[in-house]
Amino acid sequence: MTGWRTHSGKAVALPVEGIDTDQLIPARFMSRPRSAGYGDYLLHDMRRDAEGRPDPDFPLNRPEAEGASIIVARRNFGGGSSREAAVYALKDAGVRVIAAPSFGDIFAGNAINNGLLPAQLATEDAEALIATLTEKGPQEARVDLDAGTLALGALRCSFALSDAEREKLANGWDDIDLTRRHHEAIAAHRAALAAARPWLWPAKARE
């Protein structure tokens, strides 16, 4: 996975709160292989009518939203089940950043591990962005991980990231990669422990 520190792309408002993982990708599509891509199923039942026809008034279906990579939504984005496929659907649809006042904890962790930024904004900042994007339509925005900012026109909104989260996104790492960066220290500790307490390891493991 390729890491990133800055991203410029089209931002679109999705002024809905409580979008959960079941809405992000309905369970019936999760039996499909990951290699086939989940982008077509993103928010499937919200974006389409009972016959499966796209709703032309849904924000992500409008022609001007095509190619949007930044979504600004309301609070509690990604709550519900722990399905990582919700993040896959966003990523496969080309989304790189979700900006909202709050996120489901598991969703946010899955997002970071897959290179998707859950940018937690102050409610007033999220509403200011939504108001601008609703009035003017999708606009270009820029996200800077090191500065912790999302800029759109005259609006400059801040979000917080831990050092570990920033490092993962910047390097394209997940939790395993974050641990592997300490492989030399881990190997040295293991060797020292094996020498001091050899009875902890089977004979074959010491060979």
Domain ranges of the chain: 6-172, 174-207
Give Cα 178 distance to the centre of its chain: 17
Beta-bridged to residue 72, according to DSSP, are 13, 99
Least confident among 60-69, 143-152, 197-206: 197-206
Instruction: Take residue 81 and report the two structure tokens written for it.
Output: 């089940």
Asked if the model's pLDDT at residue 204 lies above 70, the reply is no
Residues 41, 16, 20, 46: what is their CA dihedral angle, to the nearest 10 degrees?
-30
Q: What is the pTM of this model?
A: 0.88
Asked if the model's pLDDT at residue 174 lies above 90, the reply is no
Mean pLDDT, residues 165-178: 86
pLDDT at 184: 84
Q: Read off the amino acid at residue 95.
A: V
Nearest one of 32, 34, 31, 53 to 44, comparing CA atoms: 53
Q: For 2-25, what is each residue's pLDDT tens digit?
A: 899 999 999 999 999 999 999 999
Inter-residue contact 15 to 134 (CB < 8 Å)? yes
Q: How far apart are CA 121 and CA 30, in angstroms?
A: 30
Inter-residue contact 32 to 86 (CB < 8 Å)? no
The more confidently predicted of residues 178 and 186 is: 186
Asked if the model's pLDDT at residue 207 lies above 70, the reply is no
Task: Work out whether strand 139-144 and strand 149-152 pair parallel, antiparallel, or are unpaired.
Answer: antiparallel
CA atoms within 13 A on the CB side of 139: 20
pLDDT at 205: 52
Q: Read off the amino acid at residue 196.
A: A
Superfamily of domain 6-172: Aconitase, domain 4 (3.20.19.10)
Nearest one of 92, 108, 85 to 39, comparing CA atoms: 92
What backbone torsions phi and psi does residue 154 show, to the nearest 5 degrees? -85, -10
- How would you label 115-132 residue by residue, b for 16+ Cβ within 10 Å and e otherwise? bbbbbbbeeebbbbbbeb
Q: How far apart are CA 138 and CA 186, in angstroms?
A: 48
pLDDT at 201: 76
